[in-house]
Amino acid sequence: MIGIENLTVGAGTRTLVDGVSLRVERGRWCTIIGANGAGKTTLVRTVAGFITPDLGRVTLDDRDVGSLSERERSRLVAYVPQHPEIPTGMRVLDYVALGRVPYHGVMRAPSARDRRLTTEVAERVGLSSFLSRDAASLSGGERQRMVLARALCQSTPVVVLDEPTTGLDVRHQMTLLELLHREVVECGLTVLATLHDLTLAGQFADRLVLVHHGRVLMDGPSHEVVRSPVLEDAYDIGVTVVNVDGVDVVVPRRGASGAFREPR
């Protein structure tokens, strides 16, 4: 579903993504992990079509993202940013309904089908009782569910998420990721995400891609990546992985970090 071929993205004299090639199959969940500044956000924003690569290309369902109009791209991929902007004075219902704009356009009112899909998605993510509220009044967890609902309203085969659990407590993190996982399992959604929490990343993703200085350091099944010694090299910290009820829990070890040193 997602094809990334020899992707290189720079900013000034810096290379942020360096020759990355990946393929993500339909109905799979792939999470990009890596230390701060590794190139994760640049990579997923390029896949979503917000950044034009210097070299290489991205394809969605074998269609070159660079050749698509904004409306065509919005029908293939939905993007959930790390820090979404929420317009003031907008109801939750109206914000979620923005996901249908690629289908009815800006100047036309949503159809009965658009309105039905909006309320159905809101119900799926547990927002039905919030639809008349001001979007800016929601808590962090409620707001993230609302942003996810807008993305799901686009009815795209691919959703790209950049740190979707930022600022959420552990309960809301799990709620959001479980909602997303249900969409993958039940609807065949293809997910490309970034996550800092390695334990959560390993629980939900079918596959982890570890990036370091813009390059792929390791790509494989989640349990193999979190247990690889390469992980310690990429984060410049010692970790211990403990299996708790079938879940690999990644625990950083005190006194085993290179904090405040230049990363290797």
pLDDT in tens, 163-183: 999 888 898 899 999 999 999
Q: For the segment 70-101, what is each residue's pLDDT rounded down to a tens digit?
A: 999 999 999 999 888 888 899 999 999 999 99
Strand residues in 124-236 grouped as ranges (E): 158-162, 190-194, 207-212, 215-221
Domain that holds residue 206: 1-76+156-235
Q: What's this model's pTM, rounded to 2 decimal places?
A: 0.92
- For residue 151, the number of C-alpha atoms closer than 13 Å in the C-beta half-sphere is 28
**Residues paired with residue 5 on neighbouring β-strands, in sequence order:** 57
Q: Are residues 138 and 171 in the same domain?
A: no
Q: Are residues 161 and 206 in the same domain?
A: yes
Residue that is last in its domain, among 155, 170, 195: 155
Q: In a 3-state reduction of DSSP, which class is residue 109?
A: coil
Q: Is the pLDDT assigned to residue 257 strictly greater than 90?
A: no
- For residue 46, the number of C-alpha atoms closer than 13 Å in the C-beta half-sphere is 29
Q: Are residues 94 and 67 in the same domain?
A: no
Residue that is last in its domain, among 155, 175, 195: 155
Q: Percentage of the chain with pLDDT > 90? A: 78
Position 63 in a domain: yes
Q: For the segment 20-63, what is each residue's pLDDT rounded down to a tens digit?
A: 999 999 999 999 999 999 999 999 999 999 999 999 999 999 99
